[in-house]
């Protein structure tokens, strides 16, 4: 999962990005409105954490331009502006949630998880497909209720496929959403991760659709 953090205060941006990275998300930081608008308009993100008081272009203007261009990623507004008219303006501009500063990082993380789940059509923090389940709060993967040890990259892969359960995800999309900007990106390395997951979770959990990509089938809940 890729998250864009738009925040011009370095300490807050670093704190939010570090918490997101520790929870298995790939993060990108933008420190002004123009950079944020460009990144959100040209790259795919699963969620944006967006400050309103930005240099060069206000956060609301950025959000309105994204929505006007048809960009549909969930947006969590993060701002010191606490007055209710500004919250209403942000929601009306296309924001999905609102969190006023100062905030607890645990609350931000809970809102992030909820927004990403809802965007993928899930209500519960525990996602399932047959015997497979993941607890997005604890980053725990289980088969038939038994926890399975997985690496951070393996968790990100199975979590992304489960969030998009039943949809065939191309290797290019997976690589874009699993790896950081500085990571080596290679389809063969991705296949190796899938192979390791099959050994841990079962050969049929992650299916390969030749020429198209990978899928976790929408089996019985």
Helices 59-68/84-92 angle, 10° precision: 20
pLDDT bracket for residue 182 (50, 70, 90)? low
- 8 Å CB contact between 37 and 66: yes
Domain range 126-215, CATH architecture: Orthogonal Bundle (1.10)
pLDDT in tens, 77-113: 987 766 667 778 888 888 999 998 889 999 999 999 9
* Phi and psi torsions of 77, nearest 5°: -80, 130
pLDDT bracket for residue 31 (50, 70, 90)? very high
Residue ranges per structural domain of the chain? 2-119, 126-215
pTM: 0.82
Domain 2-119 homologous superfamily, CATH:
Response regulator (3.40.50.2300)
């Amino acid at each position: 999962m890729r998250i864009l953090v738009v925040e011009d205060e370095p300490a807050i941006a670093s704190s939010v990005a570090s918490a997101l990275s520790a929870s298995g998300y790939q993060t990108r930081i933008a420190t002004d409105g123009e950079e944020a608008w460009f990144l959100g308009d040209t790259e795919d993100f699963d969620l944006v954490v967006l400050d309103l008081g930005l240099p060069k272009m206000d956060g609301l203007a950025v959000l309105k331009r994204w929505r006007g261009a048809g960009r549909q990623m969930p947006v969590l507004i993060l701002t010191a502006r606490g007055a209710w008219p500004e919250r209403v303006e942000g929601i009306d501009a296309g924001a999905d949630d609102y969190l006023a500063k100062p905030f607890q990082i645990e609350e931000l993380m809970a809102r992030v998880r909820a927004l990403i789940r809802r965007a993928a059509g899930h209500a519960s923090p525990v996602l399932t497909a047959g015997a497979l389940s993941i607890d997005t709060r604890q980053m725990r993967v289980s088969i038939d209720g038994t926890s399975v040890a997985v690496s951070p990259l393996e968790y990100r892969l199975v979590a992304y496929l489960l969030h998009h359960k039943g949809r065939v995800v191309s290797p290019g999309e997976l690589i874009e959403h699993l790896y950081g900007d500085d990571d080596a990106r290679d389809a063969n390395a991705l296949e190796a991760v899938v192979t390791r997951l099959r050994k841990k979770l079962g050969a049929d959990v992650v299916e390969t659709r030749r020429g198209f990509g990978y899928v976790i089938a929408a089996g019985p809940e």
